[in-house]
Chains A and B, each alone.
Chain A
Amino acid sequence: MMKILVCISNVPDTTTKITFTNENTQFNTAGVQFVLNPYDEIALSRAIELTENGNGTVTVINVGEISTEPTIRKALAIGATDAVRINAAPHDAYYVAQQIAAYAKDQSFDLILTGRESIDYNGAKVAAMLGELLDIPSVSIIKKLDVDGNAATVEREIEGGKEVITIPFPFVAGTAEGVAEWKIPNMRGIMSARTKPLAVVEPVEVKTLSDVVKFETPTPRGTVKLVDAADPEKLIELLHSEAKVF
Chain B
Amino acid sequence: MLINKDMKMADVIHLDHHLLYVINRFNIQLGFEDKSVADVCAEHQVNTSFFLEIVNTYHDPSYFPLKNLKRFSPSLLIDYLQKTHHYYLGIKIPEIEQYINQLTLNNKIEPAHSKLLVDFFQSYKTELTAHISREEQRVYPYVKKLEEFLSLVDDGEVSLHEINEYSIQKYEEEHDDVEAKLYDLKNIIIKYLPSPNDSSLFNKILHDLFELERDLNNHGRFENLILVPIVEKMEKDLVKKLK
A, B from the same assembly: no
